[in-house]
């Protein structure tokens, strides 16, 4: 392998891994200085010239010419007789420059140099990937699916770097095959051994935040601030926004005319419902807004236990809780208060039945448990889902199932 082949083999790595020229030259010089030290004991009197454009390399040895028998340092000096065999017109006191061929190092040394080059380039590539993505944590990127596994997806970016999208960071309804393009946020970058591991996410709150920033210029410009985002990926999200400019309606700006700005984000998130609400430091008002679309009749706060008792009309209870309980769960996360929903006892519901009417089928202590959470009629119990009833009462799941069966049969 000659100098041209050696440098070309490195240039292939350089082009593929996008390593800059100064770095490439420094690595080449280091590798050949190591060869020189092994052969000559020092690299002090050698010049290494790398021509990255042509893909070649030159090594020149320079020594001072002295009279015969006057050589004190063989590395730095050469006698006149030997010098004239190389350059016939040289004189004592001049500098002799002698080219060193790559072949003179021997085949083993050249192969070892090539392996060293490959190793150094791979290390540089890992460093570049780590530095690149460490600075991009929180940014949205697009990458192509290379391989789909059970627990994660392997993606490649534009430069061929490997990225990971774990199953836990995918929306439940996400489905991808090889060759698909995925948009996700860079969640974390870490080193496993010496290998950089870039973790992407489509479920993190920062993904929705960046999507909003891309779609809403006022957020990008800092006129609207996202105070908090809570998500149940693929199901529902709540975003509290605030504007420091009284002329700007933060909710309207985020939604856009006829929902033009929010629709694209909803599609990207697999039809995830997104509630945009005005942020306020008033907890009562924030709770009312966070439980949208339900209309609140009254709120009782326990600031010590961080608990809120919310009273609603019967037809609003299911809206407050939401499908699968996501609405009330996200409202709780957004406000920082554990929310208990109660039916407004001042409201009379037509065709409803008082729980005491079921005393022959349901034990009195069970009825008392249900009344303790604000459910004193059959429909008020049925308006809460099974999991909510289990959570808010001390009743066993089997007991709840029996109660629900009895109450449902009343209206069938």
Q: What is the dihedral sign for C-alpha 399, 404, 410, 412?
A: negative
Q: Which has the minimum average pLDDT: 26-30, 42-46, 156-160, 241-245?
A: 26-30
Any domain includes 267 = yes
Considering only residues 178 and 394, tell me which one the structure prediction assigns the higher pLDDT.
178
Same domain, 102 and 43: yes
Any domain includes 81 = yes
Instruction: Indicate whether 161 pLDDT > 80.
Output: yes
Same domain, 121 and 146: no
Instruction: Indicate whether 31 pLDDT > 90.
Output: no
Same domain, 239 and 312: no
Same domain, 35 and 103: yes
Token pair belonging to 46? 């050698």
From the CA atom positions of the chain, what is the Rg in Å?
Answer: 37
Same domain, 366 and 340: no
Max distance between CA atoms of the chain, in angstroms, equals 125
Percent of the chain with pLDDT strictly greater than 90: 42
Digit-coded pLDDT (tens) for 377-389:
888 888 888 888 8
With a CB cutoff of 8 Å and minimum separation 6, the contacts of 283 are 301, 303, 308, 335, 337
- Residue 26's pLDDT is 78
Any domain includes 216 = no
Digit-coded pLDDT (tens) for 326-350:
999 999 999 999 999 998 755 444 4
pLDDT, averaged across the chain = 86
Token pair belonging to 382? 């049925």
Of 299, 317, 346, which closes a domain? 346
Any domain includes 215 = no
Any domain includes 209 = no
CATH of the domain at 191: 2.40.50.140
Any domain includes 314 = yes
Report the domain count for the chain: 5
Q: Which helix (H) or strand (E) holds 273?
A: strand 273-278
Same domain, 42 and 83: yes
Distance CA 339, CA 301 (A): 9
Same domain, 94 and 116: yes
Same domain, 116 and 28: yes
Phi (first) and psi of residue 345, to 5 degrees? -70, -10
Any domain includes 290 = yes
Same domain, 51 and 7: yes
Digit-coded pLDDT (tens) for 82-105:
888 888 888 888 888 888 887 788
CATH of the domain at 94: 3.30.1480
Instruction: Indicate whether 253 pLDDT > 50.
Output: yes
Same domain, 193 and 290: no
N-to-C CA span, the chain: 88
Same domain, 8 and 121: yes
Give the range of the structural domain holding residue 226, as residue numbers without chain letter.
Answer: 221-279
Considering only residues 302 and 117, tell me which one the structure prediction assigns the higher pLDDT.
302
Same domain, 143 and 248: no
Of 307, 323, 346, which closes a domain? 346
Any domain includes 154 = yes
Q: Which has the minimum average pLDDT: 63-77, 203-217, 270-284?
A: 63-77
CATH of the domain at 314: 3.30.300.20
Q: What is the pLDDT averaged over residues 266-284?
A: 93
Of 329, 346, 363, which closes a domain? 346
Instruction: Indicate whether 18 pLDDT > 70.
Output: no
């Amino acid at each position: 392998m000659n100098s041209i082949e050696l440098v070309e083999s490195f240039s292939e790595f350089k082009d593929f891994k996008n390593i800059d020229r100064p770095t490439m030259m420094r690595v080449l010089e280091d590798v050949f200085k190591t060869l020189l030290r092994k052969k000559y004991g020092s690299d002090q009197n050698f010049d290494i010239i790398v021509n990255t454009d042509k893909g070649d390399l030159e090594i020149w040895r320079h020594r001072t010419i002295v009279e015969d028998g006057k050589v004190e340092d063989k590395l730095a000096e050469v006698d006149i007789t030997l010098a004239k065999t190389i350059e016939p017109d040289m004189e004592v006191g001049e500098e002799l420059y002698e080219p060193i061929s790559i072949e003179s190092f021997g085949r083993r040394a050249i192969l070892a140099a090539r392996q060293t080059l490959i190793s150094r380039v791979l290390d540089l590539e890992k460093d570049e990937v780590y530095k690149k993505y460490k600075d991009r944590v929180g940014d949205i990127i697009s990458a192509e699916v290379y391989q789909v596994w059970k627990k994660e997806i392997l993606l490649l970016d534009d430069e061929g770097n490997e990225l990971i999208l774990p199953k836990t960071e995918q929306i439940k309804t996400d489905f991808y095959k090889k060759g698909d393009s995925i948009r996700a946020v860079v969640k974390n970058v870490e080193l496993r051994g010496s290998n950089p591991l870039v973790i992407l996410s489509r479920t993190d709150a920062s993904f929705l935040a960046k999507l909003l920033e891309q779609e809403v210029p006022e957020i990008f410009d800092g006129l609207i601030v996202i105070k908090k985002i809570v998500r149940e990926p693929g199901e529902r999200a709540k975003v509290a926004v605030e504007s420091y400019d009284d002329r700007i309606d933060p909710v309207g700006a985020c939604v856009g005319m006829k929902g033009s700005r929010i629709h694209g984000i909803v599609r990207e998130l697999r039809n995830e419902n997104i509630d945009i609400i005005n942020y306020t430091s008033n907890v009562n008002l924030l709770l009312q807004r966070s439980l949208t679309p339900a209309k609140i009749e009254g709120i009782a706060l326990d600031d010590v236990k961080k608990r809120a008792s919310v009273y609603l009309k019967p037809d609003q209870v299911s809206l407050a809780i939401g499908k699968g309980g996501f609405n009330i769960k996200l409202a709780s996360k957004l406000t920082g208060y554990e929310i208990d929903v109660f039916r407004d006892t001042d409201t009379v519901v037509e065709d409803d039945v008082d729980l005491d009417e079921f005393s022959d089928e349901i034990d009195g202590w069970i009825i008392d448990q249900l009344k303790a959470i604000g459910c004193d009629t059959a429909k008020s119990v049925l308006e809460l889902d099974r999991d909510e009833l289990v959570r808010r009462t001390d009743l066993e799941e089997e007991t709840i199932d029996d109660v629900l069966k009895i109450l449902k049969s009343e209206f069938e």
